[in-house]
Amino acid sequence: MEFDKLVVSFLVDEVVGGFFISVPPGHIACVYDRGRGVLDRTWGPGLHLKLPFWQIAKLFNAQIIEFNINNHFEDTNKEALGSKAINAVTKDGVTVEIEGSILFRINKHKAPEIWENVGENFVSKVVRPVSNSKVLSVISEVSLDQLNTYRAQIEQKIRSELDTSFNDKGLICEGFLLSEVRKKSDHPQIAAQS
C-alpha cells in the first residue's frame, strides 16, 4: 500500500509536473531540448509547458545582483557574489586598496548563450576576473588626487568598461560604486607606529 502511494506520487511529480516550467517573478527560464540543444528563447514569469524527459528547464535570476568587493569577503565558494578588496597602483605610483560594489544582471535575451557558452558559473568565469581587470585598468590611468577628486567620473568610467566587457558575455552592468579607497603603505611596521 505504501509502495503504491510512493509510485503514484513519483509519477504525478515526474510526469504531470514534468509538463510545466514554473518561473517565479524576477526570474527567467531557458530550456535544453535533447534534440535541438539550448533553445534560443527565454520564458518569463508564469507557468509554461515543456516536454517531460525530453526538455530540461534552467532558472536564472534576472534581477539586479550586487557583487561586493571588500576585505570581509570569504572566498570559500567560487560562485559567491563577491571578491576580496582590489590592490591597485595609481598613475602616480601609489598603491591603493579598492572596495566597492558592482550591480549587474543577466541580459534576458542572451541567457541561452550564457547557459550554452559559459554555463552556470558565470560569477567565477566572467564577473570576478573581468571586474578585477577593469578596476585595475581604470585606476592605473588616474592619480591618487584624481581618484579622490573625480570619484563619480571614475565610477562611471569603470561602469562603462565593465558594461562593454560584460555585454559580450550576456551580462549588463547597471553600476559600479566605490565605497572605500585606502592608500596602502609599503612598510606596514611604519604605518602601525604612525
Whether residues 93 and 165 share a domain: the answer is: yes
pLDDT at 172 over 80: yes
CB-based contacts of 9: which residues, under 8 Å, 6+ apart?
none
Q: Check if the beta carbon of residue 170 is closer than 8 Å to that of residue 106.
A: yes
Whether residues 17 and 101 share a domain: the answer is: no
Q: What pLDDT, on a 0 to 100 scale, did the predictor assign at position 120?
A: 83
Whether residues 180 and 95 share a domain: the answer is: yes
Range of the domain at 53: 2-61
pLDDT at 186 over 90: no
Whether residues 122 and 77 share a domain: the answer is: yes
| Residue 194 located in a structural domain | no
Mean predicted confidence (pLDDT) in 12-26: 75
Mean predicted confidence (pLDDT) in 103-124: 91
CATH at residue 122: 3.30.479.30
Mean pLDDT taken over the chain: 87
Whether residues 24 and 108 share a domain: the answer is: no
Q: Check if the beta carbon of residue 148 is closer than 8 Å to that of residue 181.
A: yes
Whether residues 168 and 87 share a domain: the answer is: yes
Q: What sections of the chain are H helices per DSSP? A: 2-11, 111-113, 122, 128-139, 144-149, 151-168, 188-193
Q: Check if the beta carbon of residue 96 is closer than 8 Å to that of residue 139.
A: yes
| Residue 86 located in a structural domain | yes
Show which of 15, 30, 61 is a domain's final residue.
61
Whether residues 76 and 133 share a domain: the answer is: yes
Whether residues 105 and 13 share a domain: the answer is: no
Specify the number of domains making up the chain.
2
Whether residues 154 and 180 share a domain: the answer is: yes
Mean predicted confidence (pLDDT) in 44-73: 92
Q: Check if the beta carbon of residue 124 is closer than 8 Å to that of residue 78.
A: yes
